[in-house]
Structure 1
Amino acid sequence: MFGRNLRHTLRSPDTMIMTIALPIMILLMFVYVFGGAMNVGGGAYIDYIVPGIILLCAGFGSAGTAVSLSTDMTNGIIDRFRTMAIARSSVLTGHVVESLLRNLITTTIVILVAVAIGFRPTTDPLRWLAAYGIIAMFVLALSWLAAALGLLAKNPEAANGFTFAFMFLPYVSSAFVPPQSMPSWLHRFAENQPVTPVTETMRGLLMDTPIGDSALLAVLWCAGIALAGFVAAGVLFRRRTAD
C-alpha cells in the first residue's frame, strides 16, 4: 500500500510541485516583502521564520492525505481491496507512511532553499536529527488526523475543505511573529495551540534559542493528535467498509 501511494504521488507531479512550491513562495514573500518591517528581537527575520515555514510545509503535505484517502473511498478501489488477502489497516498505514516520506523530502528541499537565500542555523548533527524527529512526529500526527477527516468527508472536495485548519493554525502561532505582538485574546490562543510549542522546539534546535517546556508540550500535542486521529480513522474506516 505504501508503494502504491508513492507511485501515485510520483505520477502526479502537480501535487508534489504544489506541496513544495507553495511553502517556498510563502517563504520568499515573508522574507523579501515583509521581512524588512519585522522586528523579532534583533535577529534576521529569515532565521526566525524558517522553522514556521517548515511546519507550514508539513501541514500542506499532510493535508493531502485526506484528499487521497477520500478519493480511494469514493472511486471503488476499497471494495476491490476487501476481496484481497490484506489487512484492512494497511490501507490507512500506507497513506500515512507515504505522507511521512513525502513530507520529509519536501521539508529538506524547503530547508535547502532557505539556506540558499540566507538561513543560517546554528546547530549540530545531533540537533538536526532531533529537529527531523520533531518534524516526523508532527507529520504523523497531522497525517493520522487528515486520514480521519478524509474518511469523515463524503467526497475529496469536502476532505480538502476539512483540512483548512492545517494551513490556518501556523499563522496564529509563533511561526511568523511573536505571540506577544498579538492582541491579548489572540495571544492566549496562540500560546496554547499545538503549532506554537512545536515551532519553538524547532527554533530552539536549529537556532539555539531557549526551548523551556516547549519540547515536552510538542511531544504531548503530537502524541495526543496522532492517537486521536489513529483511533478515529480506524473507527470510521471500519464503519465505511462494514458489510
Structure 2
Amino acid sequence: MTALSTEHIPAPSGTAGFGVTAKAIAVRTARKILRSPQILGIAIVQSIVFLLMFRYILGGAIGITGVDYVDFLVPGFVISGMLFTAGGSAVAVAEEAAGGLYDRLRSLPVSDWAVLAGRGIADAFLLVVVALVTTGVGFLVGFRMDTSPGDVALALVLLCVYALVVACVFVWLGLVAGNAQAAQGLSILGVPFSFISSAFVPIATMPGWIQWFAEAQPLTFWINSWRGLLLGDPVVQSFEHDLSYYIVGGLLWAVVLLAVFSPLALRAYRKR
C-alpha cells in the first residue's frame, strides 16, 4: 500500500476527535487502496489463483462426506486466505514506519489509538473486498450456498469482525518488523495457522497429535462458523459441536486477540 499523507489530519477533541481522526485515516488509506490497481489487483489475483489451484488441482484428490469439496473449500479458503492478503498490509505498515510517516503523525495532536484504528479499519476493508470477490469467483467454479438471508447477513457481519482482528495482528507485525523485507518474512508465520485448521481438509483426517491445535485455534472457529452459516445443515451435522459453539467461540477469540494485539500495536507504534 502507498504511504498516507499527514495533511488535513484533524486534531482530536475527546471522543469525537478520536472518531474523526480514525475516520480520516481510514478513508484516506481506503481511497489509496482503490486508486492503486496494483494493490487491490494483486491481492485479488493472488487469492483467485490459489482458490483455483485448490479447486482443480488438489480438489479431485480430496473427498468430503455429505458435501461437494468446492462447497467445503470456498468458505474455508476465504477466511484463511485473509492471512495471505494481510501480509501485504504488514509490508505497507513497515514501509510507512520506515519512511517516517508515524513519526510525523506522532508530532501532531492526534490520538495514537485513532491512527492505528484508522489503519486497521482500512486494512480490514481490503480484506473484506478480497474475500467477497473470491467468494464470487467461487460461485463461478461451482460453489453453492444452502442458507437463509439472515444467515448470510450474519456471515457478513462475522467476516467484518474477523477481518478487523486479522488487520490488527498484521498492523502489529508491520510495526515490529522494522522494514518491508522483515514484515514479509514475519507474515509467513500465518501459513501454518491456515493449513492446520479446518480450511482445506476435515480435522479428523489429520494426525492425532496435531488435531488438538487445529480444533482449538481461532481460524477453525471462524471457518466453521462461516461454513455453517453458508452451507446449513448438510455441513453443520458433520461438526463436532453445534453451530452456535463456533460462532460464540469465534467471537470470544476475536475479543481475546484484539485485547492482546491492540495494546501491542500501540506499544510498537510509540516505540518507533
Match of 1:217 among 249, 258, 266: 249
Match of 1:192 among 200, 207, 216: 216
C-alpha separation in 1, matches of 2:205 and 2:250: 22
The aligned length equals: 240
Deviations 1:155-178 (A, max 9, x none): 111112112122331211111000
**Contact 1:173–1:195 under 8 Å retained in 2:** yes
C-alpha separation in 1, matches of 2:118 and 2:112: 10
C-alpha separation in 1, matches of 2:75 and 2:208: 24
C-alpha separation in 1, matches of 2:87 and 2:158: 18
**Contact 2:124–2:166 under 8 Å retained in 1:** no
Match of 1:112 among 136, 143, 159: 136
Letter in 2 for 1:141: V
C-alpha separation in 1, matches of 2:244 and 2:26: 37
Q: Which residues of structure 1 form unaligned runs of 5+?
A: none
Letter in 1 for 2:246: S
1:145 aligns with 2:145: no
Q: Which residues of structure 2 form unaligned runs of 5+?
A: 1-24, 237-242
- Offset at 1:212? 5.0
1:207 aligns with 2:261: no
Deviates most, 129-138 or 44-53: 129-138
Equivalence for 1:169: 193
- Offset at 1:118? 0.9
**Contact 2:80–2:194 under 8 Å retained in 1:** yes
Letter in 2 for 1:177: V
Question: Partner of 2:189: helix, strand, or coil?
Answer: helix
- Offset at 1:13? 1.9
Equivalence for 1:95: 119
Deviates most, 59-68 or 49-58: 59-68
Equivalence for 2:266: 234
1:33 aligns with 2:57: yes
Question: Partner of 1:54: helix, strand, or coil?
Answer: helix
Question: Percent identity at matched positions?
Answer: 30
Question: Partner of 1:213: helix, strand, or coil?
Answer: helix
Letter in 2 for 1:161: G
TM-score by length of 2: 0.83
Equivalence for 1:157: 181
Question: Partner of 1:118: helix, strand, or coil?
Answer: coil
CA RMSD, Structure 1 to Structure 2 (Å): 1.6
Deviates most, 85-94 or 223-232: 85-94
**Contact 1:149–1:159 under 8 Å retained in 2:** yes
